[in-house]
Amino acid sequence: MRITRKHLEAKVSTVNSMLGHPEPQWNTVGSIWLYSANDAGTKVHRIVNTSGGVNDIMPLLGTNREVNEFLRGMIAALSIARGEQ
């Protein structure tokens, strides 16, 4: 199955909800966002201040499939941390 930007955005929404940010804005500290570099790839950023500063939690650009697997891992880890698994 092809992984699209829409799939990734749905997973980011799930992660943000699990982190307590159901509808984050661009400057919501602690929220997760996707960063795309045109056709070079995508990576995951975490907002670290109210000015929109970011921290790369996925340091390298990856394909949509690689980012999808990274986000699946985040969801699994958050579920374990919350005692859901």
Residue 83 counted as domain residue: no
Q: 28: domain range?
A: 5-75
Domain count, the chain: 1
Q: Is residue 14 over pLDDT 80?
A: yes
- The pLDDT, as a whole number, for residue 38 is 83
Q: Confidence class of residue 81 from pLDDT cuts 50, 70 and 90? A: very high
Q: Confidence class of residue 39 from pLDDT cuts 50, 70 and 90? A: confident
- CA distances to 40, 41, 60, 70 from 20, rounded to whole Å, are 31, 27, 26, 19
The two most distant CA atoms of the chain are separated, in Å, by 38
Residue 81 counted as domain residue: no
HSE-up of 37 (CA within 13 Å, CB side)? 11
User: How much is the average pLDDT of 17-32?
Assistant: 96
pTM for this structure?
0.92
- Which are the contacts of 51, defined by CB distance < 8 A and separation ≥ 6? 27
Residue 71 counted as domain residue: yes
Residue 52 counted as domain residue: yes
